[in-house]
Amino acid sequence: MEDLENLKLKVKENSFFARLARIILKTSNVAMVLGKTIHLSGVKKEEFLQDHSWVAHELCHVQQFKENGYFKFLWLYLLESYRNGYYNNKYEVEARQAGTKAAQEWRNLT
Ligand SMILES: [Zn+2]
């Protein structure tokens, strides 16, 4: 995860893509990653950044994009979702674990 510091990460509020995901997933707020940009809908950037577990989850997706390459990862992600559904998608499982781990580490610090 260290080399994430060298990436030019962006956070985009009121994103069209995140809004689409919100409609599909039927949730009130969504953060989704496309490449190096975290797209938000229904949540403010400040609010999102305060949720360390959530940020770690999305950073894990940034890492997955980086490891697989942009279009290859999009394809693999869709394939996983198609085969296993959103919740059991292995990329989501990995990102959830990263989120849980970050929350634990944060609790240990405070
Ligand atoms: Zn995710």
Question: What pLDDT sits at residue 3?
Answer: 55
Question: What pLDDT sits at residue 90?
Answer: 98
Cα 6 to ligand 1 centroid, rounded to whole Å: 22
CB 36 within 8 A of CB 62: yes
Q: Can you tell me the distance from the alpha carbon of 102 to that of 100, in angstroms, rounded to the nearest whole number?
A: 5
Q: What is the pLDDT along the chain (110 residues), one digit of tens a residue?
A: 445 566 689 999 999 999 999 998 899 999 999 999 999 999 999 999 999 999 999 999 999 999 999 999 999 999 999 999 989 999 999 999 999 999 999 899 87
Map out the domains of the chain as residue ranges: 2-100
Cα 106 to ligand 1 centroid, rounded to whole Å: 19
Sheet holding 10-12, edge to edge: 10-12, 37-41, 30-34
